[in-house]
Amino acid sequence: MALLTRRNLLKASAVAGAYGAGMTLAPRLSALAAGDPALLEASIIEAMLDGKGKTRNVMTYATGPLGADPMPPVLRARRGETFATRFVNRLDEPTTVHWHGLRIDNAMDGVPFITQPYVYPGDSFDYAFTPPDAGTFWYHPHCNTLTQIGRGLAGMLIVEDPKDPVFDAEVALTLRDFRLGGDSQFIDQFKARDAAKSGTFGTVRTANWQPSPSYDAPSGGLVRVRILVADVTRLYNLRLSGAEALIVAIDGQPVPVTMPLDMAVVSPGQRLDLVVHMPDSEGQVVALEDIRPSTPKTVASFRSVGSSLKRSLGDVPPLAVNPAPEPDLSNATQIPLVLSATAEEAAKDSICGSLGYSFWAINKVPYPGDTPDPMAPLAEMKLGRTYLLNVENVTPHAHPIHIHGVNFKAVASSTRKILPLVSDTYLILPDEKVQLAVVADNPGDWVFHCHIIEHQKTGMTGYVRIV
């Protein structure tokens, strides 16, 4: 894996010089002065992930001294208010932080070479932005992404709205695998033959870095469960047993009409917000299950405690809506985007963690992303106009396709009935063609890629330019 050679470092710092903003000397978490933005630090730790032994070289984020819970903290921001953090890199390799699903300024988007330079070991970068949408989002690196997310760097970011309804309890669940051997240590993050198919699966499946955690919740109460699939590969078919639930938001965006949860497919990068109605009697167990045929598993469970609050799902208040620009479909420009395999298997040089292969392409061009010489944009869009992304999947695999900086609204699919949801990620199935409407209201270069990270890093990446 070509990551950091001296020559590449020099090349990268030449690029870094072109940006410059936001670089400061990094203080330690302990040396925080009043008035400084809160710190967010990435570092390497040992942690228990498989319930058996400590895993070395785990990567995590922290906002304070590491406590008993080693996983990246759930960050909280408020809609319409500035969120500021000084990110400090204590890893031994460069990184950046991307705020997945947030429609914020391009300079804060955290994509090396496209929006900012690397944050080198020991350096820091000040991120500040004002989220326009409330909901469940997340943050993760966009550099050497398979290794860095694979080793732990992925956290939930909740944007609150003062008008958000209050529930009887709230549980945040980050679902992900780790690839560990029997000795609890990391094994190779991917197998090339799997990267060329649906991706390489982890060996230890967790929710909140635990094999199958259980949470207490008030009997008869309404619990908001925020679910993030932060895995690099795995799709979940989620179902609840032992209670009823409503889907209230998908990918951070409140759904126009809440829907009962039957089974929801949630792919890497996506979020699902449920309101679960706990059973009335104490001691009942509600299980959140992944029922994908080859891999059924109880992901997490909830146990009712106390005397019943006697609520019902009919009492669930609507979430405050997010301000989405309305696409003008009568005036939309069509952009064809074909997702395919590529014949070219040559290693692409990327100093941000090349996997050494290209298996995938968008419009026939394989691009691993995060390289100092970005290819041409997939499309140029004019600020304020509506575009229809005609995305066609000619591969036999599903791809959770994700765009930065703007949302799309699903308009039509060739193979299924779809809801006109606004989102940052669309899971396109094999042989599906989908029309995704985008209002180009946020200027900048925005990455568009598959969120199965092996696909992203072996070619299924591109970007659009909004000017």
Binding site for ligand C2O (CB under 6 A): 98, 100, 140, 142, 269, 402, 404, 447, 449, 451
What type of residue sits at position 79?
R
Q: Nearest distance from residue 120's CB to ligand C2O, in Å?
A: 21
Contact between 348 and 365 (Cβ < 8 Å): no
DSSP 210-277: BSS-EEEEETT-EEEEEEEE--SS--EEEEEESSEEEEEEETTEEEEEEEE-S-EEE-TT-EEEEEEE
State yes or no: residue 450 binds Cu ion (CB under 5 A): yes
Q: How far apart are CA 155 and CA 348, in angstroms?
A: 29
Residue pointed to by tokens 């620009």: 325
Smaller CB distance to ligand C2O: residue 451 or 455? 451
d(CA 356, CA 449): 18
> Hey, which residues between 116 and 155 contact Cu ion (CB under 5 A)?
none
Comparing CB distances to Cu ion, the nearer of 90 and 140 is 140
Beta carbon nearer to Cu ion, 190 or 215? 190
98 binds, among Cu ion, ligand C2O, none (CB under 5 to 8 A by kind): ligand C2O
Least separation in angstroms between residue 149's CB and ligand C2O is 9
Shortest CB 399 distance to Cu ion, Å: 3
> Would you tell me how many other CB atoms lie within 10 Å of the CB of residue 166?
8
Return the number of the residue (224 or 404) whose C-beta is nearest ligand C2O.
Answer: 404
Query: Is 452 one of the binding residues for Cu ion (CB under 5 A)?
Result: yes
Displacement of CA 105 from its chain's centroid (Å) = 18
447, interface contact from Cu ion, ligand C2O, none, CB < 5-8 Å by kind: ligand C2O
Our CB check for Cu ion shows the closer of 207 and 450 to be: 450
Q: Smallest distance, Å, CB 261 to ligand C2O?
A: 24
Task: Specify whether the CB–CB gap between 398 and 235 falls below 8 A.
Answer: yes
Of 70-78, 201-209, 244-252, 446-454, which segment contacts Cu ion by CB under 5 A? 446-454
455 binds, among Cu ion, ligand C2O, none (CB under 5 to 8 A by kind): Cu ion
Residue 425 beta carbon to ligand C2O: minimum distance, rounded to whole angstroms:
8
Of the pair 304, 456, the CB lying nearest ligand C2O is at 456
Distance CA 341, CA 354 (A): 17
CB of 130 to ligand C2O, least distance (A): 20
Nearest-approach distance from CB 157 to ligand C2O, in angstroms: 11
Say if residues 100 and 140 touch (Cβ distance below 8 Å).
Answer: yes
Q: CB 410 → ligand C2O: shortest distance, Å?
A: 18
Give all strands (DSSP E) within 269-358, no chain letters. Answer: 271-277, 285-290, 297-305, 333-341
Q: Of Cu ion, ligand C2O, none, which one sits near residue 228, judging by CB under 5 to 8 A according to partner kind?
A: none
Amino acid at 402: H
Least distance from C-beta 328 to ligand C2O, angstroms? 27
Neighbours of 330 (CB within 10 A): 6
Report which residue's Cβ sits closest to ligand C2O. 100
Min. distance of Cβ 191 from Cu ion in angstroms?
16
For ligand C2O, the closer of residues 195 and 232 by Cβ is: 232
Candidates 108, 455, 457, 463: give the one binding Cu ion (CB under 5 A): 455
Task: Tokens 């691009």: give the residue.
Answer: 367
Q: Residue with structure tokens 């984020």?
A: 61
Q: Based on CB atoms, which residue is closest to ligand C2O, 427 or 447? A: 447
Cβ closer to ligand C2O: 143 or 245?
143
Q: Which of residues 144 and 395 has its CB atom nearest to Cu ion in the complex?
A: 395
DSSP line for 367-419: --SS-SS----SEEE-TT-EEEEEEEE-SSS-EEEEESSS-EEEEEESSS---
Among residues 254 and 369, whose Cβ is nearest to ligand C2O?
Answer: 369
Smallest distance from Cu ion to CB 268, Å: 9
- Residue 59, exposed/middle/buried by CB under 10 A (0-12, 13-18, 19+)? buried
Interface stretch with Cu ion, choices 95-103, 104-112, 304-312, 444-452 (CB under 5 A): 444-452
- Whats the size of the chain, residue-wise? 467
Name, in order, each residue with C-beta under 8 angstroms of 34's C-beta and a sequence gap of 6 or more: none
Identify residues 345-404 at the interface with Cu ion (CB under 5 A): 399
Measured CA to CA, the distance from residue 418 to residue 433 in angstroms comes to 12
Q: Is the separation of the CB atoms in 415 and 399 below 8 Å? A: no
Residue 452's binding partner among Cu ion, ligand C2O, none (Cβ under 5 to 8 angstroms by kind) is Cu ion
Report d(CA 94, CA 216) in Å as an integer: 39
Binders of Cu ion in range 397-436 (CB under 5 A): 399
What does the binding site for Cu ion look like in residue numbers (CB under 5 A)? 399, 450, 452, 455
